[in-house]
Amino acid sequence: MTLASWNRLVETAVLLDGFHALKHAVRFGAEVPVAVAVDREAALALADELAPDVRDALDALLTEVPESTYRSLVPRPHPTAVAALAVRPSRAAGLGKLAHTPRTAPVVVLDNPRNLGNAGAVIRLAAGFGVTGVVTTGTLDPWHPTVVRGGAGLHFATVVERLTVPELPPGPLFALDPEGDDIRGVKLPDDAVLAFGSERSGLSAELRARTDHLLSLPMRPQVSSYNLATSVAMTLYHWSLTGGAARA
């Protein structure tokens, strides 16, 4: 029954690759119709240690399967040998949350990102700061399995959508650029849209034309750039100092 369900759902569902992705998805309300583990007791022991709040839910979800079966279901086996399929959140609901104003936390925009792992790391950061959502422009699919793996399943803790530049949500648009004003002199409002350019080519001309404010991060001369996720982390931390970031 488990394999039949997996094969029926796999083309449209979100692959949760590893224990931590499944843990976060369940914690943040994902609908998970099927989940497997090579060693069910080991997975539940991890839950006892790291996520007791979702232990009972995982106990009800997980089905033990042979390792050969597990490996046939995932493109790259995870060290925890756990995998699941989740129902992707409603796009209409996500777009509604992005468009709703006033917002209590910014939206992060990745303008034509190229690296799947970087996108996942940004989504993980954004979830940690409690942002309204992460939007990508361009061809990268923010729900690609590699992105979900990099985000540790935290796609379900925020809104994640792909839009065109004209479709970006409302709010003052602050874009990061080496020629911008020093971010340390600017207070970022809670309804800001924070845009970050491609790892290779920076901001697109289309997004730059839409930008209200160009900002730069402090950087030592002759250092060419920061990693994308690092830039997002620095910017969100700056916002959190005066904004409405989630408190522990």
In this prediction, residue 1 has a pLDDT band, given cuts at 50, 70 and 90, of low
**pLDDT tens digits along 106-128:** 999 999 999 999 999 999 999 99
Average pLDDT over residues 175-198: 94
pTM score > 0.85 for this model? yes
> pLDDT tens for residues 126-169?
999 999 999 999 999 999 999 999 999 999 999 999 999 999 99
Q: Residue 21 CB: number of other CB atoms within 10 A?
A: 30
> Tell me: the pLDDT tens digits for 66-111?
999 999 999 999 999 999 999 999 999 999 999 999 999 999 999 9
